[in-house]
Amino acid sequence: MPNDKPTAYPADSQDEAPPAPVKRSRGGPKGLRITDVAAVAGVSPITVSRVFNNPESVAPETLERVRQVVHKLGYVPNRLAGGLSSSKSRLIAAIVPTIAHSLFSETIQVFSETMSKAGYQVLLALSGYSDSSEETLLDAVLSRRPEGVLLTGVAHTDSLRERLRNVGIPIVETWDMTDTPIDMLVGFSHYRVGEAVAERFLARGVLHPGLVSANDDRAIARITGFRERLARAGIHDIAEVIVAPPSSVSIGKTSLPQLLEQTPQLDAVFCGSDLLAIGVLGEAKRRGIDVPSQLAICGFGDLEFASETSPQLTTVGVDGTRIGVSAARCLLERLKGVKEANVTDVGFHIVERQTV
Amino acid sequence: MPNDKPTAYPADSQDEAPPAPVKRSRGGPKGLRITDVAAVAGVSPITVSRVFNNPESVAPETLERVRQVVHKLGYVPNRLAGGLSSSKSRLIAAIVPTIAHSLFSETIQVFSETMSKAGYQVLLALSGYSDSSEETLLDAVLSRRPEGVLLTGVAHTDSLRERLRNVGIPIVETWDMTDTPIDMLVGFSHYRVGEAVAERFLARGVLHPGLVSANDDRAIARITGFRERLARAGIHDIAEVIVAPPSSVSIGKTSLPQLLEQTPQLDAVFCGSDLLAIGVLGEAKRRGIDVPSQLAICGFGDLEFASETSPQLTTVGVDGTRIGVSAARCLLERLKGVKEANVTDVGFHIVERQTV
DNA sequence: CTGAAAGCGCTTACAG
DNA sequence: CTGAAAGCGCTTACAG
């Protein structure tokens, strides 16, 4: 040894002593931990954990005592830690194009209510109507390790579908229909909606139909059904105005002159939403066109106020509340271990408010 | 020693060997971890972490290599772990009474968009209109350790306000006004809305006003402003129908006869929402009452469709989008370290659609 | 620009 | 019914 002089260490230092571990403070106490509660209540941390997650397994008086300490201290468990440890985030992601002025908001409302009654919380992810950044959005969502996912519409890209399938958590697609769902599905066929509206128009003797719609996936499916059904009846010329979402009353207003320019004899318009329909209706009135005798107008969504203020409109009603509740139930069943796949067609109904 | 026969242990077992730690498997691999990426990329886990959280601090070619491995493997970081470790959940909670058929949905829409652009995600918590379980809801929210909270309305109970103040994260109250905000606030005075509507009515020469409203906090504030302003003008008798939320067109319809029963000379109605106003208007028409000449009706919310379909209605407009954006900005500034308090009165405007 | 060690606050899997 | 030890998958705080 090059240097065997006595060291400066205290007398009790031992030759074999491991290097003292560097104490790295991480910024001091951030708040109450489960150990704080345990110490005050005179139990182990595990018991405190059980009080929250499995109270039946704790003796009644222990339970009571711990609960009082929890309440007195104002302790709130850290679910980031709990989720990491248990692999149960108790989080469900809801991916929706938009919740503003939208049919989806009531679906999300009841979905969220149902989920929170079952002890889950909802992470809201707004996808917009473009799918440019959907991969990024999905990364953000999956990084929270949700235990289930509600999708609005059927996922478009194969890559997305593949990824969702592979995470191995229950997925429920809503508000649309497909033969190849990722997992579960609660929705209806927009294609058939289009067909059904076309049939109504045909039954009325419509010869020169038009359509106004935003260009989101489901609206396109409705348009396709509409067009194809009309084509089978020999009608191929359809006036068409396609706009970027979100649709609105004012877009409806401006679209009518465009449709009339394409088809001066226009006698029916299928609108992508009730808002568009209201706009078209208002503009028709302004031009002295009688609805529905000269121009039939069909909307989509069956908004309550529309039925009150615009009884001349026909529309397509969908039970958004039922979709939300069913979607929640599907996920919850799976989370309880039920394994069956599940596709529910909730259908739709055409609301003819005023006899033709 | 009672038993010093040779043991059955292998020859290399040592007397001093510490008790072999029990290996407790936790269920095997749940998915890719940061160490998997690190191993493939030939770097340490910390470097992979930096690629996600602080890419500027990583050499360009290391960055590129790690990113390729991440992409190839499909690795998604676990933010439960990340959040626990860093005390940064990147989560913002939005507590809203309801998002269905509601003015709040557009606030939440833009709030959520703004937040996600800044790298945060929104945890949606629906409080309903009762505050019975608000403590429970808050526990659920705080257990996720959000970095900020948006509240709709000003929190009611002292206990709630105290708890929110104590968590030490930025809080923004919205859609209401108070002299004693918990922290930041973006809203307007519902009391003043009520006063302003009363003044419009007085200016019209109204003598026998009534009101229909749901009984949520903000509606009550509007009613109070309305009543007190009228009282100052000597009007104390006000017909009144108070209903449980959510309000709707059909409730509006049924309320008019009730108001007329209380005050047969009824010449104005202040409604808690545009939906109620539309219902009242429809019922008035049905009874041959001209609006606004015989009966003035004022709603709340300025829904776009109402202006198109019911120009006879007056209403109160509020910029919900601005509230959402401002609330998001307030929170984001704080999260960046700016310390100033912030109270924004976004005001409101009365929309008189048809000249009296 | 990069890494080894320690720690975030819980829960699991045992054992008693 | 209760608890000591280990581990969940990251990031911090250093050190180089």
pLDDT in tens, B42-84: 999 999 999 999 999 999 999 999 999 999 999 999 999 999 9
Q: Which residue has the higher pLDDT, A344 or A356?
A: A344
Q: Taking the domain A89-188+321-346, which CATH number applies? A: 3.40.50.2300
Mean pLDDT score, B150-176: 90
Contact yes or no for A76 and B249 at CB 8 A: no
CA gap B356, B352 in Å, rounded: 9
| A&B contacts, CB < 8 Å | 157
Give B187 CA → C12 C1' in Å. 47
Contact yes or no for A126 and B112 at CB 8 A: yes
Q: What pLDDT is stored for residue A132 in this prediction? A: 59
Whether the pLDDT of residue B2 is over 70: the answer is no
Q: What are phi and psi of A261, to 5 degrees?
A: -70, -40
Q: pLDDT tens digits, residue range A22-63?
A: 555 566 556 899 999 999 999 999 999 999 999 999 999 999
Which nucleotide is closest, CA of A23 to its C1'? C6
Structural domain B86-188+321-346, CATH architecture: 3-Layer(aba) Sandwich (3.40)
Domains A89-188+321-346 and A190-317 share a fold: yes
Q: What pLDDT is stored for residue B320 in this prediction? A: 95
Q: At B30, is the secondary structure helix, strand, or coil?
A: coil
A34-77: what CATH class?
mainly alpha
Using a 7 Å cut-off to protein CB atoms, list the covered nucleotides of chain C. Answer: 1-15
B-chain residues near A253 (CB < 8 A): 308
Whether the pLDDT of residue A325 is over 60: the answer is yes
Q: pLDDT tens digits, residue range A156-183?
A: 788 889 999 999 999 999 999 999 999 9
8-state DSSP, B17: P
Mean pLDDT score, B108-114: 95
Q: Which ranges of chain B would DSSP assign to H, the alpha helix? A: 34-41, 45-53, 60-73, 79-86, 104-117, 134-142, 158-167, 190-203, 217-232, 249-262, 274-286, 304-309, 320-335
pLDDT band at residue A153 under the 50/70/90 scheme: confident
Q: What pLDDT is stored for residue B202 in this prediction? A: 97
Side by side, the strands of the sheet bearing A314-317 are: A239-243, A209-214, A268-271, A296-298, A314-317, A349-352
Q: What pLDDT is stored for residue B46 in this prediction? A: 95
Q: What pLDDT is stored for residue A22 in this prediction? A: 54
Give, for B124, the enclosing helix (H) or strand (E).
Answer: strand B121-126
Give, for A63, the enclosing helix (H) or strand (E).
Answer: helix A60-73
For residues B312 and B354, is the Cβ–Cβ distance under 8 A? yes
- B291, HSE (Cβ side, Cα atoms, 13 Å): 25
Q: What pLDDT is stored for residue B193 in this prediction? A: 98
Give B79 CA → D16 C1' in Å. 29
Closest residue by Cα to the C1' atom of nucleotide C7?
A26
8-state DSSP, B220: H
Q: Which of A4-8, A135-139, B140-144, B155-159 has the highest mean pLDDT?
A: B140-144
Indicate the residue of A84, A108, A110 with minimum beta-carbon distance to B84: A84
Q: What pLDDT is stored for residue B254 in this prediction? A: 97
Name the residue among B89, B154, B167, B159 with its Cα closest to residue B127.
Answer: B154
Mean pLDDT score, B7-34: 54
Q: Which residue has the higher pLDDT, A112 or B353?
A: A112
Q: What pLDDT is stored for residue A101 in this prediction? A: 76
Q: Which residue has the higher pLDDT, A85 or B130?
A: A85
Q: What pLDDT is stored for residue A12 in this prediction? A: 39
Give strand ranges (E) for chain A: 91-96, 121-126, 148-152, 171-174, 184-187, 209-214, 239-243, 268-271, 296-298, 314-317, 343-345, 349-352
Whether the pLDDT of residue B242 is over 60: the answer is yes
Angle made by CA atoms A68, A72, A75, in degrees to the nearest 5 = 95
Indicate the residue of B74, B145, B279 with minimum beta-carbon distance to A163: B74
CA gap B64, B51 in Å, rounded: 9
Q: What pLDDT is stored for residue A15 in this prediction? A: 41
Domain boundaries, chain B: 34-77, 86-188+321-346, 190-317
Q: What pLDDT is stored for residue A250 in this prediction? A: 95
A112: distance to nearest CA of chain B, Å? 7
A87: distance to nearest CA of chain B, Å? 8
Indicate the residue of B78, B163, B279 with minimum beta-carbon distance to A143: B78
Q: Which ranges of A273-336 would DSSP assign to H, the alpha helix? A: 274-286, 304-309, 320-335
Ranges A230-239, A282-291, B130-139: which has the least confidence: B130-139
Contact yes or no for A275 and B304 at CB 8 A: yes
**Does the CB of B59 sit below 7 A from strand C?**
yes
Using a 7 Å cut-off to protein CB atoms, list the covered nucleotides of chain D. Answer: 1-15
pLDDT band at residue B13 under the 50/70/90 scheme: very low
Q: Is the peptide bond before B246 cis (omega within 30 degrees of 0)?
A: yes
Mean pLDDT score, B130-150: 89
A-chain residues near B279 (CB < 8 A): 308
59-78 of chain A touching strand C, CB 7 A cut-off: 75, 77-78
**Does the CB of A29 sit below 7 A from strand C?**
yes
Q: pLDDT tens digits, residue range A277-302?
A: 999 999 999 999 999 999 999 999 99
Q: How many CB atoms lie within 10 A of CB A190?
A: 26
The mean of the pLDDT values for chain B is 89
Q: Is the dihedral of CA B325, B327, B330, B334 positive or negative?
A: negative
Ranges A30-34, A114-118, A289-293, B163-167: which has the least confidence: A30-34
Name the residue among B313, B311, B307 with its Cα closest to residue B276.
Answer: B313
Whether the pLDDT of residue B96 is over 80: the answer is yes
Mean pLDDT score, B4-15: 37
Which nucleotide is closest, CA of A88 to its C1'? C11
Name the residue among A324, A332, A323 with its Cα closest to residue A188.
Answer: A323
A81: distance to nearest CA of chain B, Å? 6
Whether the pLDDT of residue B1 is over 50: the answer is no
Indicate the residue of A78, A99, A278 with minimum beta-carbon distance to B105: A99
Question: Please, which residues have CB within 8 angstroms of residue B142's CB and are 6 or more apart in sequence?
Answer: A76, B163, B167
For residues A277 and A294, is the Cβ–Cβ distance under 8 A? no
Structural domain B190-317, CATH architecture: 3-Layer(aba) Sandwich (3.40)
Calculate what percentage of chain A has a pLDDT beyond 90: 78
User: Which residue of chain A has the CA closest to B104?
Assistant: A100
pLDDT band at residue B354 under the 50/70/90 scheme: low
